[in-house]
Every structure is written in C-alpha cells, then in structure tokens.
Amino acid sequence: MEFTTPYNRENFLRFLRVDFLPEDFEQSELLLTPSTKTTYTDKVVKLGVCSSLDLVVYEIRHKGKDDPRVGIRAKDGHIHRPKILLELTYIHKALDSSKNNIIKPHIFLNEAKLTAIALSIRLGMLDEKLKNSGGGKILVLDDLLVSLDMSNRDVVLDIILKKSADFQLLILTHDRAFYNIAKLRISNITNGESWVFKEMYNKQHYETDIPVPIIIDPTSYINSAEKYLKLFDYPACANYLRKECERVLCNLLPKNLCIIITDEDGSKPLPLEKLINNFKALCQHMSLDFKPYEKLIEHKNILLNPLSHDNIMSPIYKQELLSVFKILNELNYLKKTIIANVDNNEFVAIHVADSEGIDWEYRLVVQESLFAITDDKGGKYFNNPLVNFLWRQNSTVGEILKKSLKFRNGISNIEHTLKLPQHSIDINNCCYNIQNMLIQDLLTRDL
C-alpha cells in the first residue's frame, strides 16, 4: 500500500484483505458513536475483525488541520523523549490476582530491580534493532551493573560477553571489585586475546592544579611486584603481591567462597585472610596438599599491611617477600577446570558397566558447580558438590531417581547398586560434561 497518497477506504480494505491480514479477516463497515468526546476525532467506523489475531480494525476520521498519520507533537517544534510503556505484575500464590498490578513501579521496586528491567529492554533492543551491515557495531556500557548484586552481575556479564561476537565492547566501571571480576572472567574465557584493559585515574596538573586523567596500561600483578622489588620499593611490592594472591585464590575458589553478602553493603570481596582460610579448607575437602602454601598464613601480615613491618628495608623483610613470590609461583601451577556450571544449570552423564557387563547411563544436574584442580604433577582433585541424580537407564530399561546428595556419595551409591568394588569408578574416564566431552579429555585440553 502506498502511504504517501491520500487515504482511500477501499484501497485500505483491499490492502488488509490481500496483503496484510490472514484469510479469516471479516469486513464489516459499522458506524460507531464514541463514548468520550475528543478534540480531533470526528467519526469512528468499525471496518472488520480478524479472529485469529484477536484484532479489530477501526477507521477514525480526524478533523485536525494536520495529517492524522503524523503525530501533532512531530510539528510542535520541541524534542520529545520516546517512551516505553510497561505494565508490571507481581505474581505470588498468596496474592489475589486482582491486586497484583504494580501501580507505581518506581516506588515499589528497588534500584537493582529497576536496573535489571532497563537492562533487559536495552539488551532486547540490540537483538531486534535493524543493523547496518556496512557500519561500525560498537556497544558502550558505562557502569550499567553498579546497582545489581553480585549474582545478577554474573548473569548480565555473561550475556554482555556473548555480544562480543557481534559488537566491539567498551565496558567502563569505577567499581574496582567488578573490574577485577570482569577481567578474570574475560581472561578465563578468551585468555585475554582481543581484549585491552586500561586503568584511568586523575591527578592534579602540576601547573594549573586542574584534575587531569592519567591512563595506565596495567601489566600483571606479579610483574609489577617484581618491578618494585628491583626498585627496593618493598611496600609497593607487597601490595601487588597481595593483589596477585587475591586474584589466584579467587580463581581457584568457588564464587561463594570469594565474596561476603551483607544487608548494608550487598556483596563485596572477602579480605585476603578469609580467602587463605577458605583455600586451606578447600584443599582439605579435595585432599589437595596444602603444605606448599602454608607460609601464606605466616606472611599474610606483610601483605595485608606492608607498612606495619618493624624495618621495611631489612633483609628479613625482603626474604619474606621472596618467600611469597615462591608460594605464588606454586599456586599458579594449579589449574581449575569447571566441569558443570550451576549458573547454567548444566548436567553430567556417567557411563559405567555393572558387575554383569551391562552398560548404564546416569544423568545428574549440579546444584553447586562441579570442578577439578590439576597440579603441576598431573594430579587431579575433584570437589564434592551437591547434585541431583535425575535418572538412569540401560539399553532396555530406565528408572527415575530424583535423589539429591553429594557427588561422591552418589558415586558410592552407583558402585553399590551395580555391585562394583568400592572406589572402582574412575571419574576421569566415565563422566561426560554437557558438551559430551569425557572429563579426562576436558582436563587434558585445559592444561
């Protein structure tokens, strides 16, 4: 239909019947009387009904001097911000459906919820917006996640990073904790390839005293610590060793053991002393030898407060720093591999033969992330998360299980049920992740 020509009812109805609406469109020209008197509406005619779309078509005669197909605001000489009208409903089994409409969302919802809604709209627009194949595709995100708690930040960060396949991403933040988490996540996914990390600070100009930006191209924490050690700036060296220690421990620990959540402050990173204690407990839990890292507990004071040492220029202080270097070198040999991520609701399949040689498959979903840590000698150590065993089957029969228990206890139950010797199931060679990759191959690939 040509929209640049004057309106004609017959042409419009022909367009609806032939080109636009389904075949069940029923034409009916019925003059209606508006229940409310308006300034610009002169006459209303019902033109037809399309039942499959639950659609009614009206013709409204407009008695203004302007073209009714062009909004009056378009010619008033002012710029009007576009609006997206939303209806919010609070659904709860104890709440009557007649009372679940949220009349004033900006008052009812907290800042985190409002931010989540705004992000949902913005990210949804990226998927629907017409893209110019010949133009640049740049997505700039300036502290969009600052109002979200850590769990929602993780989800949104994963969504944003997936956009890197279609957009050049510029992520800006003044939140140091989020910067470190995002940098670590990006490094784990891409090894940092195709990404550039910059840190921007301000300082007073030496002549005008006006604040000016300075941009730092950050090297690794360990390289910075080595630089300051050579310059005999031991407090600065200790500070970067602390940052490196926090980075390594947060990489090895589950997320819930790296943060603390309070009503006042929301989520924030745990202090170094807590991280060390949590890592010690994790080693005991996974039967991983903690002895090479025990001196971290002794040296934590110089890392937490470099200026508290009696004599920061003494050889003893330097030896303590060198000892921390050695421990961090040992920690960096450890490699953590996520086998099944609870954030993505991932499953694990176990293929094993019973005492009679019949092959069985067990399917389970993790309720806590399942991961392994590989040391420099090739030893593999698995955590013991809570999992939900869904079902098992062989070539002829199947059985619903729906049992929630610890991973190792589940493996022991399988050995007992299939009449296998205790500890005979080798997780490396019988478990598969969601991509159907054998755990042994997954751990070898990530070395």
Q: Read off the amino acid at residue 10.
A: E
438 DSSP 8-state letter = B
Cα dihedral sign, 244-247-249-251? negative
Whole-number Cα distances in Å, 6 to 41, 267, 271, 443 = 18, 61, 71, 70
**pLDDT grade, residue 146 (50/70/90)?**
confident
Token duo for residue 393 = 């089957």
Token duo for residue 69 = 């197909």
Does pLDDT of 249 surpass 70? Answer: yes
Q: Which is more confidently placed, 67 or 94?
A: 94
Look at residue 371 in the predicted model and tell me its pLDDT.
92
Give per-residue pLDDT as tens, 33-87.
776 666 667 788 899 998 888 889 988 877 666 555 556 566 666 777 777 777 8
Instruction: Tell me how far apart the alpha carbons of residues 408 and 312 are, in angstroms, rounded to a whole number.
Output: 48
Select from 366, 354, 349 the least CA-distant residue to 439: 349
Can you say whether residue 95 is alpha, beta or left, with left for phi > 0 and alpha for psi between -120 and 50 degrees?
A: beta
Token duo for residue 98 = 């007649």
**Residues 67/76, Cβ–Cβ less than 8 Å:** no
Does pLDDT of 177 surpass 80? Answer: no
Look at residue 389 in the predicted model and tell me its pLDDT.
93
Instruction: Tell me how far apart the alpha carbons of residues 216 and 426 are, in angstroms, rounded to a whole number.
Output: 48
Which residues sit opposite 195 in a β-bridge?
none
**pLDDT grade, residue 412 (50/70/90)?**
very high
Measured from the Cβ of residue 41, the count of other Cβ atoms closer than 10 Å reads 15
Give per-residue pLDDT as tens, 380-400.
999 999 999 999 999 999 999
Instruction: Tell me how far apart the alpha carbons of residues 438 and 338 are, in angstroms, rounded to a whole number.
Output: 13
Segment 248-268 mean pLDDT = 81
Instruction: For 344-408, give the secondary structure using H, E and C.
Output: HCCEEEEEEECCCCCEEEEEEEECCCEEEEECCCCCEEECCCEEEEEEEECCCCEEEEEEEEEHH
Give per-residue pLDDT as tens, 199-245.
776 766 657 778 877 666 666 788 888 878 877 778 888 888 888 99
**Residues 28/50, Cβ–Cβ less than 8 Å:** no
Token duo for residue 278 = 């949590």
Segment 289-306 mean pLDDT = 80
Select from 421, 439, 435 the least CA-distant residue to 380: 439
* pTM: predicted TM-score of the whole model, two decimal places: 0.54
Look at residue 288 in the predicted model and tell me its pLDDT.
92
Q: Read off the amino acid at residue 216.
A: I
The residues, any chain, with a CB within 8 Å of residue 305's CB and separated by 6 or more, are none
The residues, any chain, with a CB within 8 Å of residue 134's CB and separated by 6 or more, are none
Select from 369, 380, 376, 325 the least CA-distant residue to 344: 369
Segment 15-26 mean pLDDT = 87
Token duo for residue 328 = 């961090």
pLDDT above 90 covers what percent of the chain? Answer: 22
Euclidean distance between the first and final Cα of the chain, in Å? 62
Domain boundaries, the chain: 9-75, 111-187, 221-332, 337-445
Give per-residue pLDDT as tens, 332-367.
999 998 898 888 888 899 999 999 999 999 999 999
Measured from the Cβ of residue 49, the count of other Cβ atoms closer than 10 Å reads 16
Query: Which H helix or E strand runs over 260?
Result: strand 259-262
Which residues sit opposite 170 in a β-bridge?
140
